[in-house]
Amino acid sequence: MDNLEIEEIEEPVSPTGRYLNSSVLCVHVLAVLESEIPIDDSQALPLLQHVLLPINPRFSSIMITGKDGEKRWKQVEVKLEDHIKIPIFPTIDSSNKTYDEHFDEYMSKIAVEYLPQNRPLWEIHIFKYPTSHAAGTLIFKLHHALGDGYSLMGALLSCLQRVENPSLPLTFPSNRRFGTILNKKTIFKLLPWVLSLPFNTISDFGWSVLKSSLVEDDQTPIRSRDEDMKLRHMVISSVSCTVDQIKEARSKLGVSINDVIVGLIFYGIRLYMEEMNQKSSRAQSTALVLLNTRYISGYQSVAEMIQTNSWGNKFAFLHVPIPELSEIKISNPLEFVYQAQKVIDRKKNSLAVPLTGMLLNAVDKLKGPETAAKYIHSTLKNSSATISSMIGPVEQMALANHPVKGLYFMVAGSPESLSITIMSYMGNLRIAFGMEKDFIDSERFTSCMETSLEMTLKAACKIQAKI
């Protein structure tokens, strides 16, 4: 990029962007694309120059502090070579033709490394070696201050094309979450919903404040309480199933897709906790479910996001208690699905989320962004896990003529020991786990999640479909 082409634009950093790049928080998003074919890195520079950088000025900006003490985005010259990382590993034994261990170690390493603040806050890592999942892997490391998963996924998708017909746009599963709630509510059902709203709001908002300040989850096999983030490397693994399997379970149980997914995740967590320490099966544990606060039902183009002010970090946390594991529930995973439905439906009938946002804004104005960042850090630290989800394309997509075989993402840099992400792509659902290395046994945890997935779907299939 030529210096003469750089416009002297200093855009204010959003409040959430300041919180996520502060002295107490430095959060990144790792977007992982698994290629069907070996990666040709010769296309990286032109792709970044002509496709990624023009998407949004933030990809060519650094965060600076102005004379008034406010943080702003300032466009700079981008030296693309500094943003492309291609690791080199020795040739391995021919009897083991995959580089899974090298890939896992490399992911663990880059997950904890901070992005330099003197250049735009993103990197591309090209892992050119085959793994059991792909012929090569492309990792986009993006600072969360640039935007949330919705914004960054929208930016990433604008670099990709449909494999079978690049001239057609990618399509996504329909999202009817706003319409279905209203359509099912008759006037008789709305009355108790309205009457319970004030009580639920007071209860949930009060509990959220306590959980973010005074009340910590119990120390368990999924919560270490280790304060030193720089030493907490991450191990990433995943389990998969088809979206149709989840839809079938949803129809049989009469719940939502999210209820099924959250329920089986909670059941898998409790199975692991029971296996590692039987006493922890009844420990007080909470998951923070991340909510997209935009009132839109699908992805927008980057231009539409900017025009409608949808770009950025527009999410909120919902505290959801992880049900305890009793002797009755251990053999019935559907109890966790129904419990997830009950708790989440109740919390939907509450204004605690917008009130929490107003509280955070008040803290920012009265005591500054660092104090607000500490409040978010405490919210994360006092909980046991975070859960976030994204909807991916229905069709197979390609990046620079490299067909993408698999797609998932992970959030790194937050203080909890367990991060869980959910991503749909080509009719498959990928549930990924970011686990604190040398604390959570990744193999046993993944095994418990596989057991939970199998048992939940099997139990749901035996239920007569609910109308």
- Answer yes or no: do 149 and 43 share one domain: yes
- Answer yes or no: do 78 and 188 share one domain: no
Give the lowest-confidence range in 174-183, 302-311, 358-367, 438-447: 174-183
User: Does residue 90 register a pLDDT over 80?
Assistant: yes
Asked if residue 140 lies in contact with residue 30, where contact means CB atoms within 8 angstroms, the answer is yes
Q: Which amino acid is at 242?
A: T
Residue 315 confidence (pLDDT): 72
Q: Is residue 167 part of a domain?
A: no
Q: Is residue 137 part of a domain?
A: yes
- Answer yes or no: do 120 and 219 share one domain: no
Tens of pLDDT along 340-349? 999 888 887 7
Residue 52 is classified by DSSP as I
- Answer yes or no: do 52 and 195 share one domain: no
Confidence class of residue 238 from pLDDT cuts 50, 70 and 90?
very high
**Tokens 């067909």 — which residue?**
403
> What is the mean pLDDT of the segment spanning 416-420?
95
The helix or strand, by DSSP H or E, that contains position 73, with its residue range, turns out to be strand 71-75
Give the lowest-confidence range in 22-26, 243-247, 306-310, 398-402: 306-310
Is 288 in a helix, a strand, or coil?
strand
- Best mean pLDDT range from 196-200, 326-330, 434-438: 434-438
Asked if residue 387 lies in contact with residue 418, where contact means CB atoms within 8 angstroms, the answer is no
Four-residue CA torsion sign, 339, 286, 110, 159: positive
Please give the share of the chain, as a percent, with pLDDT higher than 90.
54
Residue 2 confidence (pLDDT): 42
Residue 225 confidence (pLDDT): 72
Q: Is residue 457 part of a domain?
A: yes
Q: Is residue 278 part of a domain?
A: yes
User: Does residue 461 register a pLDDT over 70?
Assistant: yes
User: Does residue 133 register a pLDDT over 50?
Assistant: yes
Q: Is residue 401 part of a domain?
A: no
Name the domain boundary from 135, 162, 189.
162
Q: How far apart are CA 245 and CA 426, in angstroms?
A: 14
- Answer yes or no: do 264 and 344 share one domain: yes
Tokens of 330: 């251990």
Q: Residue 296 class from Cβ within 10 Å (0-12 exposed, 13-18 middle, 19+ buried)?
A: middle
Residue 51 confidence (pLDDT): 86
- Answer yes or no: do 154 and 271 share one domain: no
- Answer yes or no: do 344 and 439 share one domain: yes
Half-sphere exposure of 127 (CA within 13 A, CB side): 27
Q: What angle do CA 255, 257, 259 make, to 5 degrees?
A: 60
Comparing 300 with 411, which gets the higher pLDDT?
411
Q: How far apart are CA 235 and CA 220, in angstroms?
A: 18
Q: Could you tell me how far CA 293 lies from the centroid of its own chain?
A: 14
> What is the mean pLDDT of the segment spanning 332-336?
91
Give the lowest-confidence range in 13-17, 147-151, 327-331: 327-331
- Answer yes or no: do 256 and 107 share one domain: no
The CATH number linked to 191 is: 3.30.559.30
Tens of pLDDT along 387-397? 998 888 899 99
Name the domain boundary from 113, 136, 162.
162
User: Does residue 380 register a pLDDT over 60?
Assistant: yes
Residue 26 is classified by DSSP as B
Residue 5 confidence (pLDDT): 44
User: Does residue 115 register a pLDDT over 70?
Assistant: yes
- Answer yes or no: do 75 and 190 share one domain: no
Q: How many domains does the chain have?
A: 2
Confidence class of residue 360 from pLDDT cuts 50, 70 and 90?
confident
Residue 370 confidence (pLDDT): 92
Comparing 256 with 177, which gets the higher pLDDT?
256
- Answer yes or no: do 208 and 140 share one domain: no
Question: Please, what is the average pLDDT of the chain?
Answer: 85
Comparing 347 with 215, which gets the higher pLDDT?
215
Give the lowest-confidence range in 241-255, 280-294, 300-314, 409-423: 300-314
Confidence class of residue 440 from pLDDT cuts 50, 70 and 90?
very high
**CA-to-CA separations, 371 to 48, 154, 365, 426, in angstroms, rounded:** 36, 31, 10, 42
Bridge partners (DSSP) listed for residue 163: none
> What is the mean pLDDT of the segment spanning 75-94?
90
Determine if residue 427 is left, alpha or beta; phi over 0 gives left, psi from -120 to 50 gives alpha, anything else beta.
left
Residue 69 confidence (pLDDT): 80
Residue 55 confidence (pLDDT): 85
Confidence class of residue 231 from pLDDT cuts 50, 70 and 90?
low
Tens of pLDDT along 146-198? 888 778 777 877 788 899 998 888 888 765 443 333 344 455 555 665 667 88
Residue 247 confidence (pLDDT): 93
Q: Is residue 397 part of a domain?
A: no
Comparing 33 with 205, which gets the higher pLDDT?
33
The CATH number linked to 144 is: 3.30.559.10
Residue 228 confidence (pLDDT): 61
- Answer yes or no: do 146 and 36 share one domain: yes
**What is the extent of the structural domain holding 210?**
177-389+416-461
> What is the mean pLDDT of the segment spanning 289-306?
67
Residue 67 confidence (pLDDT): 79
- Answer yes or no: do 142 and 281 share one domain: no
> What is the mean pLDDT of the segment spanning 9-37?
90
Residue 259 neighbours by CB under 8 Å, 6+ apart: 250, 253, 337, 338, 340, 341, 344
Q: Is residue 407 part of a domain?
A: no
Name the domain boundary from 162, 186, 215.
162
Residue 182 confidence (pLDDT): 38
Q: Is residue 445 part of a domain?
A: yes
Tokens of 95: 């009897």
Confidence class of residue 74 from pLDDT cuts 50, 70 and 90?
very high
